[in-house]
Structure 1
């Protein structure tokens, strides 16, 4: 029988109470950030750094636009995420100037900042057309740099220094270390997302479709596709083996529902959470019981990897521990036999079941920057020999926020080559075939590195 969740619970996961943030923490964060920009401007012999929020992009041969996503460097300074064509102008020793786009028409919504707690920290100017920004850029552009996506805008303004690499390296390196304000924002984003995950769990056990589960998530978080930090993955049965599954089937799988994998986050003041959970629809005997046990084992592995985190270790060691954990699971379930843990890693058997990394940096972006930087000069950390493609491989240090997300999947395209190779006899193909319809498992938590280990921001919200 399905694990019971009453239908009455489906409506009980309302938007979570958002406690917000501490303004004094934001003020301290802002002043530290402003001091860093002042040092960078001086070091790079710049007078002005023009940080562009970005601008909407239109669909090809259409007058409709893609959802706007703000430049992360803009929202790092000013917590506005929905102000296209706006700018922040940074000058040494001066209050930052927010150039807010406020068109005088009835086609566009103008963001209201009158009650924003951060408003006194900025000098604010309004522009009614995007080209009005020219009034706030010095005539001589030799000591002006542009930070943003739209190179054509910088060129039209006559700014030749576009996204200076050495400046970006420094910003990205330091962005990995989160202030108290940033940690509070990410914790709040976890709290919002946790309510959504609980709502989806209830919807799943009530037999709802992928689409209905997604609706339950949005209702509980009060965040739709334009507010959420990334497109939610709501994958039932075999769809869980598609790592970036985007479909949302509207058809309930009556009598055929086996599993659910949800990978979904939330945003708060521009900061993201990124959480994954997996569920077995039934714990009956046979393959259902096996999959339910697999969910428990991957969950336990996630917590083991969180416990492995220590300052001064390298993230590559977490990747290695994740693969050791997956290898042990494969042996314990009898899906692979006759190989040692090291053989399974070196022969890339574990990659067939977990083809992604242990996790990634998290913050202003879901896959945040700086994960492979050894220092502020842009020197890249050397990837472990065993995992040459690992992108998050720098030293573990306090105040870094990362995801921990091991998984075990049953992906035909990755398993089939082993069926025709020299290791085929080490696989129990019949047992693996029985798991194909379940897709796979991923359990993902968000953690902050502390002085002595790690604090689990996701489990702190009560989500299990």
Structure 2
């Protein structure tokens, strides 16, 4: 996408955010929405800082992700104000003067010291809904000004509606998907070349052109049995011998928006594990097609369990019907996480359980505590679809000791355990019609580029 295209989409995005802010402030009884960008945190007993992470409520408005000490002030009927910290500093790189497609839509005030923000914030803190972390207050804990109060009525409204992405946000997520799929292709090539987890991760970061602090989450780069650890992030320095399989769950960031992509590969393209990968991939595509307006997301999750249970049956692992495997919990042994989550400004975006924009929670289905989204889908919502099939020692041991131990073939499980597991994950946007699969779209576009692997 070009800067001109973003410039055309951004005003509508900003207008929608202003509309949401006005409604949220009215519900909370406030006059101003005040959003700090966040501050740098220092490690205890040390002078080293943790990597700075921008307040998601801040980057929703504008594509600034590396600017601690700045503030936004949103007052209905007035031009949004950006208080932009550009300090006098010869120890570090000073943020550049703001530029880009969004600048003309803000009143920008440049400050040189962090506490100068007080001169440009609203006079009455009591009339402000201040969204952020406690450390963003101006001053120490005892006397700090503009301490975030995070009013529930305001957050409930904003978090609920953040699930609905504007066309501008979809383009941002598309940009992240494109860089993410490019990096995934580089990681697969490194795997095919026999590299270690550590070296595959380096190849991924190089292709993404992002370091660990810029990536939206710690990459999961798992060879062989490590693929059975759902959040495996150890990055072994030496490759196992032999290498059988590769699971990578990794994303990239684009102007504050994240992608979240998972793929699984086998070294033996004609073997049973590759056939199982293909079966999960085919089932996953059917689940992606369920991302349609009016669909209960928990229904996709439960249907995913039936699909995984069917694959277990087809490969001789489960001895019972898929419905029985779901009912007695066998499917959860092999698929122990949720089918996905909301995504956008955060990898696990907020509002996944929101009953309405006035609060309330839609509970998880019984027996499925790790599902992160329970809402009914509607146009504009962006979600991940990530079914998995794993051979996890801890869960298998519990099954072996339980009443349903005879419902599976333990010899078949032993054959597949050295491969760890399978997960396939795409980002899908719900529309008025067919779903928009940003991940598959990006992989297809990358394959069409000259020189693509």
TM class by shorter chain equals over 0.9
Aligned to 2:322: 341
Aligned to 1:199, the other structure's residue is in SS state helix
Residue 332 of structure 2: which of 346, 351, 362 is its match?
A: 351
CA distance in 2, matches of 1:108, 1:49: 30
> Runs of 5+ in structure 2 lacking a partner?
448-453
Distance 1:169 1:333, change over 3 A: same
Residue range with higher mean Cα deviation, 211-220 or 128-137: 128-137
Deviation at 1:178, TM superposition (A): 0.6
* Counterparts of 1:262 and 1:160, CA distance in 2: 40
After TM superposition, list the pairs within 5 Å mapping 1:16-415 onto structure 2: 19=2, 21-150=5-134, 153=137, 156-159=143-146, 162-253=149-240, 255-283=241-269, 289-337=271-319, 339-385=320-366, 387=368, 390-415=371-396
Kept in 1, the 8 Å contact 2:391–2:420? The answer is: yes
> What TM-score does the superposition give when structure 1 sets the normalisation length?
0.91
Q: Aligned residue for 1:5?
A: none
Give the match for residue 400 of structure 2.
419
CA contact (8 A) 1:19 1:188 kept: no
CA shift for structure 1 position 48 = 2.2
User: Any conservation in 1 of the 2:79–2:106 contact (CA below 8 Å)?
Assistant: yes
1:182–1:290 Cα change, 3 Å: same
- Mapped partners of 2:345, 2:204: distance in 1: 22
Does structure 2 retain, via aligned residues, the 8 Å contact 1:316–1:387? no
Q: CA deviation at 1:159?
A: 4.1
1:462 aligned counterpart, secondary structure: helix
Distance verdict in 2 for CA 1:32–1:162, change over 3 Å: same
Deviation (angstroms), 1:281: 1.1
Distance 2:121 2:2 in 1: 39
Deviation string 1:304-357 (CA, Å, 9 cap, x unpaired) is 1012222112001000110001100111111111x2222211211111111100
Structure 2 contact 337–370 (Cα < 8 Å) conserved: no
- Distance in 1 between the 2:70 and 2:33 partners? 14
The question of whether the paired residues in 2 share the 8 Å contact of 1:151 and 1:162 is answered with: no
| 8 A Cα contact 1:361 1:367, kept in partner | yes
TM-score scaled by length of structure 2: 0.93
Secondary structure at 1:33's aligned position in 2?
helix
CA separation in 1, counterparts of 2:324 and 2:394?
21
* Counterparts of 2:115 and 2:431, CA distance in 1: 46
Over aligned residue pairs, what C-alpha RMSD do you find?
A: 1.8
Note if contact 1:50-1:90 (Cα within 8 Å) is conserved in structure 2: yes
Match of 2:451 in 1: none
Task: State the shift of 1:151 in Å.
Answer: 5.4
Q: Is the CA contact (8 Å cut-off) linking 1:327 and 1:345 kept in structure 2?
A: yes
Unaligned runs of 5+ in 1: 1-17
After TM superposition, give the deviation of residue 158 of structure 1 in Å.
4.0
Distance 1:209 1:314 in 2: 41
Contact 1:352 1:415 in 2 (8 A): yes
Q: C-alpha offsets along residues 272-306 of structure 1, whole Å, 9 cap, x if unaligned?
A: 1100000001235xxxx111111111111110101
SS of residue matched to 1:188: helix
Tell me what 1:448 maps to. 429
1:457 shift after superposition:
0.8
Aligned in 2, Cα 1:99/1:161: closer, same or farther, shift over 3 Å?
closer
Q: Secondary structure at the match of 1:308?
A: coil
For 2:450, the equivalent position in structure 1 comes to none
Shift of 1:117: 1.9
Aligned in 2, Cα 1:161/1:365: closer, same or farther, shift over 3 Å? closer
| Count of residue pairs brought into register by the alignment | 441
Is the partner of 1:51 in helix, strand or coil? strand
Stretch moving more, 351-360 or 92-101: 92-101
Q: Is the 8 A contact 2:293 2:377 kept in 1?
A: yes
Contact map agreement 1:113 1:119 (CA 8 A) in 2: no
How much has 1:45 moved relative to structure 2?
2.8
